[in-house]
Amino acid sequence: MLDIRSLVFPDVKLIRWKRIVDGRGYFAETYVRRDFAATGIAQEFVQDSESRSDAAGTVRGLHFQISPFAQAKLIRVLRGRIFDVVVDLRRSSPDYGRTIDVELTAETDEQLFVPSGFAHGFCTLQAGTEVMYKVDAAYSPEHERGILWSDPTLAIRWPVLEGDAILSEKDRALPLLHDLPVYFV
């Protein structure tokens, strides 16, 4: 059974699934296509990806892909905790450029659904954090884009200071939001 609620952006959803716990541990169905489709999430996921961040304060993102490989994502923490951020990139949206954040942990039985048209990123809150993503379009380096995680116009209250964040060189070089072309109407 799923409990799905919309966040500030109606298309971005926080999904809670149910664990069945016994003396051995637990069992859970974290994705059943039929159940997701019944709640309006009808994407066909085609790729699972996983990341592990060895240190707290690791920032990944803010990433997205453009058409024809724009991706919807279903994000779940397998181990540890993250500060997860979503940015609305739909130029015609009244929420264009606005952000939301949510903390996801391995213990809360929650996932975050992010449709295409949004940038996504996170900061690890614990060492050894592992995150799994389901996406509805395969990764395409030619269509990968991003926004600088520390863009001051986004005013994201990251849980790590800019000088202490651990980032890839690629993520350090991402453009500011106002420098992006229109990718999503």
Catalytic site positions: 63, 133
* C-beta separation of 85 from 99 below 8 A: yes
Q: State how far the Cα of 173 lies from the Cα of 147, in Å rounded to an integer.
A: 9
Q: Answer left, alpha or beta for residue 8, where phi above 0 means left and psi between -120 and 50 means alpha.
A: alpha
Strand partners, 123: 59, 83
Beta bridge partners of 49: 133
CB atoms within 10 A of CB 124: 27
Q: What's the rounded Cα separation, in Å, for the pair 141 and 37? A: 29
Sort strands 99-105 and 2-6 into parallel, antiparallel or unpaired: unpaired
Parallel, antiparallel, or unpaired for β 81-88 and 118-124? antiparallel
Cα separation, 30 vs 44, whole angstroms: 15
Angle at 47 between CA 159 and CA 8, to 5 degrees: 40
